[in-house]
Homo-oligomer: A and B are copies of this chain.
Amino acid sequence: MTELEKGPTGSRRGRGARERIISASQQLFREQGINRTGMNELCAAAEVSKRTAYQHFTGKDELVAEYLRRFDPSVLSGVFDRTDLTPRERLLAAFDISPDTPLCPYIAAAVELHDPQHPASQYARDYKKAVAARLADTAREAGAADPEQLGEQLALLIDGAAARTRVLDADAFPTAAAIAAVLIDNALPATAGHNRRREGVSS
């Protein structure tokens, strides 16, 4: 029928045009930005006919939203589910996204789309809240006095590092990690379970 929910695999019949489109969007939207990437260009890169693209997505807006939804590639779960680390180490590991990451696409989308009502903007909000929540969970696990506050604070540090990295074109995550270490040490009761040799936590 018209709607058959062909499933995330997309490999029911054709040659998987949908996946190619999304894959191309991941590349182009990140490299060039959303507004600077036209549908013509995107379809060409995906080696997909324009008509096909508009049979999978009602419009660019929907594609953009899907582009954001298909992101998280373990960036979130890949950090928080590491059982080899203590909760405290996991909190700090969230700042090790150092390698090359261009910029948090959620911030970029919110700025580029400029419309809080846009589906993608709404998803960006949800995602940011989810990250803060997981940070809070981990903070609670680590025994923080006020886990929600610490989670929100660490989330702000991550966003600050992302924004600053973008504007200054220089990695700001080490600075954010240093702040995080201070905040964590301040929020956690001084249990001797982990050797905390941070400097200068005077107060």
Q: Which residues of B contact A178 (CB under 8 A)?
A: 149, 153
A interface secondary structure, majority = helix
Give bound CA distance, A201 to B146, whole Å. Answer: 12
For the complex, is A136 an interface residue (Cβ under 8 Å from B)? Answer: no
Assess whether A107 is in contact with B166, with CB atoms less than 8 Å apart.
yes
Nearest chain B CB to A203's CB is how many angstroms away? 5
For the complex, is A33 an interface residue (Cβ under 8 Å from B)? Answer: yes
For the complex, is A46 an interface residue (Cβ under 8 Å from B)? Answer: no
Assess whether B114 is in contact with A32, with CB atoms less than 8 Å apart.
yes
Q: Which residue of B lies closest to A106 (CB)?
A: B167
Assess whether A186 is in contact with B167, with CB atoms less than 8 Å apart.
no
For the complex, is A85 an interface residue (Cβ under 8 Å from B)? Answer: no
Assess whether B185 is in contact with A203, with CB atoms less than 8 Å apart.
yes
Assess whether B111 is in contact with A107, with CB atoms less than 8 Å apart.
yes
Q: Which A residues form the contact surface with B (CB < 8 A)?
A: 32-33, 35-36, 103, 106-108, 110-112, 114, 116, 121, 124-125, 128-129, 145-146, 149, 152-153, 155-164, 166-169, 172, 175-176, 178-179, 182-183, 185-187, 190, 200-203
Sample (21) of A-B pairs whose CB atoms are under 8 Å apart: A35-B112, A116-B169, A121-B167, A125-B169, A128-B164, A128-B167, A149-B175, A153-B178, A156-B160, A157-B160, A159-B163, A159-B164, A160-B160, A163-B163, A179-B183, A182-B182, A186-B201, A186-B203, A187-B200, A187-B203, A190-B203
